Amino acid sequence: MNIGKLYKLSSQELLTEVNYQIHNETDSGWWGELTLIDYIRISDSDGYIIELADKRHGRCRLKKRVNRAVSGVPPRYVYHFTGTSTFQVPPDDVPEG
């Protein structure tokens, strides 16, 4: 698992860090699973931005995986995320030329 960050799309507010794993990344889309490091409530109807460990970021939707939780009190759920945009590279990391 990699550590990234999750932001709310509407306000670009940092919500929490996440443990994530990308299962598929192609030119036409990307998806994977994540768990939230902090216990916060996430709405399936909201849009989010995930920032990966390599600083790439993209818009995504989250959906709680039914009957999948990581042990703990309170439980931390596993979320399926689906990309709604291509990954963007931060301007500082764009090669010149």
Residue 63's domain spans which residues? Answer: 2-90
Tell me what pLDDT residue 94 has.
47
Assigned domain for 97 exists: no
Tell me what pLDDT residue 26 has.
86
CB 5 within 8 A of CB 14: yes
Per-residue pLDDT of the chain (97 residues; tens, 9 = 90+): 899 999 999 999 999 999 999 999 987 889 999 999 998 888 888 999 999 999 999 999 999 887 666 666 677 789 999 998 889 887 765 455 4
Tell me what pLDDT residue 93 has.
54
Assigned domain for 57 exists: yes
Assigned domain for 45 exists: yes
CA distance 46 to 9: 8
- Domain tally, the chain: 1
